[in-house]
Homo-oligomer: A and B are copies of this chain.
Amino acid sequence: MNEIGILNTIKNIIGERYIGDDCAYLEDLGIVITQDSLVEDVHFKREWITPYQLGYKSVAVNISDVFASGACPAYITIALSLPNNLSENFVEDFYKGAEAALYGAKIIGGDITGSADKIFISISAVGKTKNRNISSRKNAKPGYIIITKGQFGASAAGLSKLISGDNSSPELIKAHLEPQLDYNFADIIARTVCEPYAMMDTSDGLADALFKIAEAGDVKAVVDYSLIPHPHNVSKDFVLFGGEDYNLIAAIPEKYISCIPGANVLGKIVDYDGVRLDISGQIFREYSELEVFNHFGENNG
């Protein structure tokens, strides 16, 4: 199956209103909600990740979506489908890891079922939106600056070490298995920026996120590669196209930059001129020109 085709199918059925952002924003309830799944042998290999790390990462990827919306993480539900040959210790360690990634949210329920042979995890997260300005990808406007925090490429480099069985860079492997989130960056933006702004996480890579923001807003993103923070031993391909760093990028009016401590300015939003993304002269006109980060050679959603 082809992911773009499927998304178009779904858009035609349910309408575009809630499609596109990391979370759905339910203004009538004052919440955002998101749901992401992790599937064994698609998103993780059981032999590479401990149950604790799996619990941590499964929750973190959902909390990251709540941060990207600008909301405050409040509640999560966890659905686990587990083969019968796992021990009860697996569940206990998984939940301990999950607790370590809550960033203030509470676990309020979920579902445990059997599974034929693979582990399936699906988590929903609810964030509160009161007194916060909620982001949307489509909000980037010409003149806005593009900001971020955190390092890029470490997670993908760590994954490549795991695939090749190279244990020489434990810090990169840890970046892949236990991604650290930055609450303060999103929190300050959502409580400080009073105008529409765009924010998303870089779960599918930095270039992916920049392209999607540019496309959703019908603008162009221009970024200087030399301004992108990354570990010294990580290749440019990993920095730009590697996913799962779970950093945030935002496009905001320039005047707010002084309120956001530690933000790195990567570039700016300009008028669309046939090009969506320009990274130090490397240009991308169509999404298909991006190398999409692909776990184990399969469609990772």
Q: A116 and B35: CB pair below 8 A?
A: no
* Contact across chains for A1 and B35 when beta carbons are under 8 A apart: no
**Is A262's beta carbon under 8 Å from chain B?**
no
Q: Does A114 contact B298, Cβ atoms closer than 8 Å?
A: yes
Point out the residues of chain B lying under 8 angstroms from A84, CB to CB: 1, 298-299
Task: Flag whether A226 is at the interface (Cβ < 8 A).
Answer: no
A143 contacts B by Cβ under 8 Å: no
Q: Smallest distance from the beta carbon of A255 to chain B beta carbons, Å?
A: 32
Bound complex: CA of A7 vs CA of B112, how far in Å? Answer: 9
B42 lies within 8 A of A88 (CB): no
Interfacial chain B residues near A31, Cβ < 8 Å: 29, 31
A122 interfacial by beta-carbon distance below 8 Å: yes
**B-side contacts of A160, CB under 8 Å:** none
Q: Once the chains bind, are A91 and B10 in contact (CB under 8 Å)?
A: yes
Q: State in angstroms the CA–CA spacing of A31 and B300 once bound together.
A: 32
B37 engages A111 (CB within 8 Å): yes
Kindly state whether residue A237 has any CB partner on chain B within 8 Å.
no
Interface status of A104 (Cβ within 8 A of chain B): no
A 201-228 to B, binary, CB cutoff 8 A, 1 in contact else 0: 0000000000000000000000000000
Q: A85: nearest residue on chain B (CB-CB)?
A: B1
CB contact list, A81-108 vs B, under 8 A: 81-82, 84, 86-88, 91-92, 95-96, 99, 106-108
- In the assembled complex, how far is the CB of residue A96 from the closest CB belonging to chain B, in whole angstroms? 7
Give the segment of A72-80, A177-185, A243-251, A284-292 that binds chain B: A72-80
122-137 of chain A: CB within 8 A of chain B: 122, 124, 126, 128
Number of contact residues on A: which range applies? 35 or more
A2 contacts chain B at the CB level, 8 A cutoff: yes
B1 touches A82 (CB 8 A): yes
Contact A109–B3 (Cβ < 8 Å): no
Contact A109 B18 (CB under 8 A): yes
Residues of B within 8 A of A6 (CB): 88, 91, 112
Task: Please name the residue on chain B nearest to A18 by beta carbon.
Answer: B108
The residues in A between 1 and 58 inclusive whose CB is less than 8 angstroms from any CB of B are: 1-3, 5-7, 9-10, 13-14, 18-19, 23-24, 26, 29-31, 33-37, 39-43
Rounded to whole Å, the gap between the CB of A164 and the closest CB of chain B is 21
Shortest A66–chain B CB gap in Å is: 13
Contact of A1 among B39, B75, B88, B126 (CB under 8 A): B88
7 A-B contacts (beta carbon < 8 Å): A13-B96, A18-B107, A36-B79, A37-B81, A39-B81, A42-B116, A111-B122
